[in-house]
Structure 1
Amino acid sequence: MNEPSKVITSPAALRARIRAGQFEKPTAGYGGDALQANLVILGRADAQEFLRFCQANPRPCPLLAVGEPGDPALPTLGDIDLRHDLPRYRIWRDGNLVAEPTDIADLWRDDLVSFALGCSFSFEDALTRAGIPVRHQSAGRNAPMYRTNLATRPAGRFSGPLVVSMRPMPAADAIEAVTICHRFPLAHGAPVHLGDPAEIGITDLGAPDFGDPPDMRPGDISVFWACGVTPQAAIMAAKPAFAITHAPGYMLVTDIPAPHAERRLTGVGGADQAPRPTNG
């Protein structure tokens, strides 16, 4: 089970524990309503093409911040040092996963450009407050994530399938979840699919491509959101010489409250406004 949220009083306190090597778990359920972020770090030569991939695919890749070359800070998101502030990273060479370290200080280079992308963990606090079960949190598991048969829009070498996260819930709750999540466009927005997983190419819910199997219960339906692990599938296709990402479920927890992220980061909208559709 997750330790009580009161033990970690703020996103900054959580990052301090991560920097000290005292927290190595998935971050779902931690940080309260803080905006959480996926991470992609690429050399300057690959960064512009990846930026175009994000712009072409805003649903799975909602841009929160882009770092300056060689700078591990993302000041618009908090007092952040990307070399230390995620519980687990992934290292990629020529599109192949080669390591999953808990710190990347020894791998940092002056040409690296960082991309923070919105994460669906950011709206889970709102779901919980509405009484909608978030089963992977209550079970102390990582969220299940799956490759689909839905293609992303390619940008240069970057392409590949849409990856989705899934949360099982009763059908009545799923309708409310759609309404709630429309309010979080920087956290992937509303679900991309409800119901039969086979319709999006998922053959076995019990064998996710990333994360842990779901806690399905009688009367549940499967609810799928676009997922920020999608860029990792694109990295496998593009095969850049070097890349760093978060490990699925081990996110960057920012200082931005998720309900106000759109207004804080883009200057428009906000979760306190009426729900509106997001771009697909």
Structure 2
Amino acid sequence: MRTTGPTPEQLAAARAARESYRSGVVGPTSGVAHGLTQANLISVPADWAFETLLFAQRNPAACPVLEVLEAGKTESTMAPGSDIRTDIPQYRIWRDGELVDEPTDAIAAWEEHPDLVSFLIGCSFTFESGLVDAGIEIRHQTLGRNVSMYRTNVECTPAGRLRGNQVVSMRPIVADRVADAVRISGRIPAVHGAPVHIGDPAGLGIADLSRPDFGDAPDVRDGELPVFWACGVTPQAAIMASKPPFAVTHAPGSMFITDVPDAEFIQ
């Protein structure tokens, strides 16, 4: 399905959100600019770019690439006038696989490494708008929290020096709406698509659902099932495992908001 572009109201909401993050506002982007595509970010030095692209191609559920910005470029074609160094609420700076800083802008990173190649990767926050429109509650939005994310025991297909295990996001869904959630998200493979697991978290090697590796603890209620989707934080797990000398990512839950309607990616 193709659309004619964002509505004026959507475009105004996306631009206002990016401007607020550029001014230093911090917080999860789930539910912001309803109906517009959000993206994860990973930026690496040019000599790691091919392996990062290959890793994404070999692990498309977790790392669906929406756009690649050439070395040194900082404006996304998915949001004209944007700047990926400033328009995300919070960033993560990595050195040798270790998290060293979480600034609200990454301008200094590009000054230090002007050859950074950037990848915008599909985010599950995008299909949340379809779930909401279908009357399926997104609990972390209701509670004003970040989504719960977990490292799993599922190994990604390695690419050169890059390796690591898949990260998943989890949303509790009322049991009789799980099939609807699968159908709605499954129509958008560009933003992770259908769930990778439903039910017992032990099936993914998750020992304690109440202690996520990223994001906030979930609120799972009676009659609900934990539903797990592949997550764009997976490249950060690969950074921790593979230890590239330098990388920049978004902070989990803090996405880049584009001007592209979700419907552009519905199949």
Q: TM-score, normalised by structure 1?
A: 0.89
Say if 1:45 and 1:181 are closer, same or farther in 2 by CA, change over 3 A: same
Deviations 1:44-70 (A, max 9, x none): 011111111001000000000000111
Distance in 2, matches of 1:19 and 1:76, equals 17
Instruction: Tell whether 2:19 aligns with 1:35.
Output: no
Q: Which of the numbers 60, 65, 68 marks the counterpart of 1:66?
A: 68
- Structure-2 residue corresponding to 1:16: 19
Residue 135 of structure 1 pairs with residue 155 of structure 2: no
Higher relative contact order (CA 8 A, sep 6+): 2
Say whether the 8 Å CA contact 1:157–1:237 is kept in structure 2. Answer: no
Q: Read off the aligned partner of 1:219 and give its amino acid letter.
A: G
Tell me whether 1:240 sits opposite 2:241 in the alignment. no
**Structure 1, 136-145 or 99-108: larger mean CA deviation:** 99-108
The Cα of 1:172 is off from its aligned counterpart by 1.0
* Cα distance between partner residues in 1 of 2:79 and 2:234: 22
Letter of the structure 2 residue corresponding to residue 41 of structure 1: S
Which residue of structure 2 aligns with residue 278 of structure 1? none
- Stretches of structure 1 that go unaligned for 5 or more consecutive residues are 1-5, 263-270, 274-280
* Separation in 2, partners of 1:29, 1:239: 33
Q: Percent identity?
A: 53
**Unpaired runs of 5+ in structure 2?**
1-8
1:120·1:187 contact (CA, 8 Å) conserved in 2? yes
- 1:10 is paired with a residue whose SS is helix
Separation of aligned partners in 2, 1:64 and 1:237: 24
2:183–2:194: 8 Å Cα contact kept in structure 1? Answer: yes
| Corresponding residue number in structure 2 for 1:231 | 235
Confirm or deny: 8 A CA contact 2:10 2:33 kept in the other structure: no
Q: Under a length normalisation based on structure 2, what TM-score does the superposition of the two structures give?
A: 0.93
Q: 1:47 to 1:189 in 2, by over 3 A?
A: same
1:264-275 superposed matches below 5 A: 271=266, 273=267
Contact 1:8 1:14 (8 Å CA) reproduced: no
Aligned pairs, number: 257
Q: Give the Cα–Cα distance (whole angstroms) in 1 for the partners of residues 242 and 224 of structure 2.
A: 37
